[in-house]
Amino acid sequence: MEPYFWGSGYGKDLIIKALSFCVDNEFNKVILWTNKELETARLIYQKFGFKLKRTQRSILSNKVLLEEQWELELKDFHL
């Protein structure tokens, strides 16, 4: 996301929209992947209750990244 949009709430709004879709369609779980260096995104996921489940080291575009798998169980989740 461009710096101009940082702190605008768009990230939170996108998560709410995505989770609302999942709840409305009776999904049991949401799984997402991110990179450890995306600290702001990781904080948003944590605020919504996502839990870090797995990490793996990858090389993408000649850059070493620590990828993270996050999960959220939806059975008791309410927006």
> What are the CA-CA distances from residue 77 to residues 6, 16, 18, 24 (Å)?
27, 12, 13, 12
pTM for the model = 0.82
Domains, the chain, with CATH or none: 3-73 (3.40.630.30)
Summarised one tens digit per residue, pLDDT across range 28-68 is 999 999 999 888 889 999 999 999 999 999 998 898 999 99
For residue 17, is pLDDT > 90?
A: yes
